[in-house]
Amino acid sequence: IRQLLSCPEPSVSVQSSPIEVSGWVKSIRRQKNVTFALINDGSWAPGVQAVLSAANTPKNLTNGASVRLHGRLVKSLGAEQAQELQVAAVDVLGECDPETYPIQKQALSIEYLRDNAHLRPRTDAVASMLRLRSQLHRTIHNYFEDQEFTYVHTPVITPSDCEGAGETFRVIPNSPSPSENNTQEEEFFSKPAYLTVSSQLHLEALASSISRVYTLSPCFRAERSQTNRHLAEFWMLEAEWAFTHGIDDVCRVAEGCLKSVLANTTPDPAFPWSEGRLQSLEDARRSDTWARMTYTEAVKELERYHASSKIFEFEPKWGRALQSEHERWLSESLVGGPVFVTDYPTSLKPFYTRQNEDGRTAACFDLLIPHVGELIGGSLREERLGHLVASMKKHGLDEEEYKWYVDLRRFGSAPHAGFGMGFERLVSWLSGIENVRECIAMPRWANRMLL
């Protein structure tokens, strides 16, 4: 249907050669002599209008039924569409009881659609979201390939908790090994195994060999807080490369990637845009270089504003993590666009982050964007053997477990850096969809895994 209708010159396709269209009935209007049915195959919102004579309309042509129609594309007499399908023959492939079909024509609440995650891709917004994900995939791959990065695959099962936040899921075999009759949970790998929270550590090993790598991989976090930005299973785009010069290098690559994404996506009208969100996307697209400020500067601004307005629930203070309300104020109100906040206190950052000379802050950044907050986190990695070992001690990491990681600093260590971008948060930004639970087909969060 997309190919059919996105044809730029309607008259070209109105040459009346017979065509076949398959899809699902989205709505149907029966009149005395004629029936109008909206047919959608998910490729193009809202679909194509099919026109049938009443005599030619089977009884079981109802909402939700899957159909194959044979006919010709003609100029439409209606004002709502340029072309329509004049139907000569109908095959109803799969019937659908219009009374019990969960996807009714009227507006359906977000919560209701979450409960029907298996059918919600039949709505225009979710179908568009899925197509957006696919397109982003393509754009991002093109960007990194152009920048001479190599696409790599990293393990999902890992012995480490990269971020050290204690949010890992354990992996254990479901059935005990037949040779053992102990009742203890079996360690399949002879040591604890987890689902990855980030591919970074493995990417570092690969960047230490082939210089520039990236991956797009599912990540898993047992994140219990219920927010519109967190999922238990989400996708992360991560890039890692060697021979960096400083944190500004890293921000530039992240910004370049997003600018290329912005240049290659047009806002889809099927999304629930608010005026503000659409505008902020347009502003980011047009803005030459996105703002940069240090964490210390950001906290000063937050403190100043809080002193006069008392607006924040959490008091901003140097040494404390920025809360989502702070992040959004910085990008939406203070800067009015995306902003890289750099050089957070070392104490707030994972063990691998490179110390700055001041001994208090680390060479890292978060990219904050309007309406979403943190979209990207990145840093220079501690490439100095002594500094890394000291940091691992401070974080209580098992030296034996991370020996391979320390080796990377022993054998030809190079200054290197990288970042990770939450794919669903990117989709949220580019679609105006407020909650990341609507930015992935089958979302998982605490107490929720329907299918």
User: What is the footprint of ligand 4AD within residues 199-228 (CB under 6 A)?
Assistant: 200, 221, 223
Is the distance from CB of 90 to CB of 53 less than 8 angstroms? no
Among 84, 238, 268, 332, the residue binding ligand 4AD under the rule CB under 6 A is 238
231 binds, options Mg ion, ligand 4AD, none, Cβ within 5 to 8 A by partner type: ligand 4AD
238 binds, options Mg ion, ligand 4AD, none, Cβ within 5 to 8 A by partner type: ligand 4AD
- Between 28 and 421, CB nearer to Mg ion: 421
Q: Does 418 bind ligand 4AD (CB under 6 A)?
A: yes
Query: How many amino acids of this chain bind Mg ion (CB under 5 A)?
Result: 1
Which among 216-224, 318-326, 374-382, 432-440 is the span making contact with Mg ion, rule CB under 5 A? 374-382
Is the distance from CB of 295 to CB of 340 less than 8 angstroms? no
Q: Does 96 bind ligand 4AD (CB under 6 A)?
A: no
Helices (H), 355-438: 385-394, 403-410, 423-431
The amino acid occupying position 351 is F
Among 64, 350, 377, 432, the residue binding Mg ion under the rule CB under 5 A is 377
Q: Does 422 bind Mg ion (CB under 5 A)?
A: no
55's tokens: 């005599």
Least Cβ distance, residue 374 to Mg ion (angstroms): 6
What are the residues whose beta carbons fall under 8 Å from the beta carbon of 399, sequence distance 6 or more? 389, 392, 406
- Between 84 and 424, CB nearer to Mg ion: 424
Which among 12-20, 132-140, 274-282, 368-376 is the span making contact with ligand 4AD, rule CB under 6 A? 368-376
- x/- string (CB under 6 A) for ligand 4AD, residues 144-183? ------------------xx--------------------
42 binds, options ligand 4AD, Mg ion, none, Cβ within 5 to 8 A by partner type: none
Least Cβ distance, residue 153 to Mg ion (angstroms): 23
Is the distance from CB of 37 to CB of 81 less than 8 angstroms? no
Q: Does 198 bind ligand 4AD (CB under 6 A)?
A: yes
Which among 8-16, 95-103, 265-273, 413-421 is the span making contact with ligand 4AD, rule CB under 6 A? 413-421
CB-based burial of residue 313 (10 Å sphere; 0-12 exposed, 13-18 middle, 19+ buried)?
A: exposed
Q: Does 378 bind ligand 4AD (CB under 6 A)?
A: yes
- Between 84 and 374, CB nearer to ligand 4AD: 374
Q: Does 419 bind ligand 4AD (CB under 6 A)?
A: yes
321's tokens: 């993590």
CB-based burial of residue 183 (10 Å sphere; 0-12 exposed, 13-18 middle, 19+ buried)?
A: exposed
Least Cβ distance, residue 295 to Mg ion (angstroms): 12
Nearest in space to 379 (alpha carbons), one of 343, 427, 413, 348 = 343
- Neighbour tally for 193: CB within 10 Å: 19
Our measurement of the distance from residue 175's CA atom to the centroid of its chain's CA atoms, rounded to an integer in Å, reads 34
Tell me the C-alpha distance between 442 and 396, whole Å.
36
Q: What is the DSSP letter of 200?
A: H
Question: 39: which strand partners?
Answer: 25, 48
For β-strands 83-94 and 48-53, DSSP reports them as: parallel
- Between 316 and 377, CB nearer to Mg ion: 377
Among 113, 231, 397, 439, the residue binding ligand 4AD under the rule CB under 6 A is 231
Among 133, 326, 409, 425, the residue binding ligand 4AD under the rule CB under 6 A is 425
The residue written with tokens 């009759």 in the block is 181
230 binds, options ligand 4AD, Mg ion, none, Cβ within 5 to 8 A by partner type: ligand 4AD
Nearest in space to 295 (alpha carbons), one of 350, 205, 366, 214 = 366
Which among 78-86, 87-95, 271-279, 373-381 is the span making contact with ligand 4AD, rule CB under 6 A? 373-381
429 binds, options ligand 4AD, Mg ion, none, Cβ within 5 to 8 A by partner type: none
420 binds, options Mg ion, ligand 4AD, none, Cβ within 5 to 8 A by partner type: ligand 4AD
Nearest in space to 235 (alpha carbons), one of 203, 197, 201, 208 = 197
Omega within 30 of 0 (cis) for the link into 18: no
Query: How many amino acids of this chain bind ligand 4AD (CB under 6 A)?
Result: 24
25's tokens: 């009935």
Maximum CA extent, the chain: 84
Is the distance from CB of 251 to CB of 188 less than 8 angstroms? no
Tell me the C-alpha distance between 175 and 182, whole Å.
12
- Between 370 and 373, CB nearer to Mg ion: 373
Q: Does 370 bind Mg ion (CB under 5 A)?
A: no
Q: What angle do CA 259, 141, 229 make, to 5 degrees?
A: 65
126's tokens: 């979710």
The residue written with tokens 């104490």 in the block is 347
Which among 13-21, 71-79, 204-212, 370-378 is the span making contact with Mg ion, rule CB under 5 A? 370-378
Contacts with ligand 4AD by CB under 6 A lie at: 162-163, 198, 200, 221, 223, 230-231, 234, 236, 238, 374-378, 418-422, 424-425, 436
Contacts with Mg ion by CB under 5 A lie at: 377
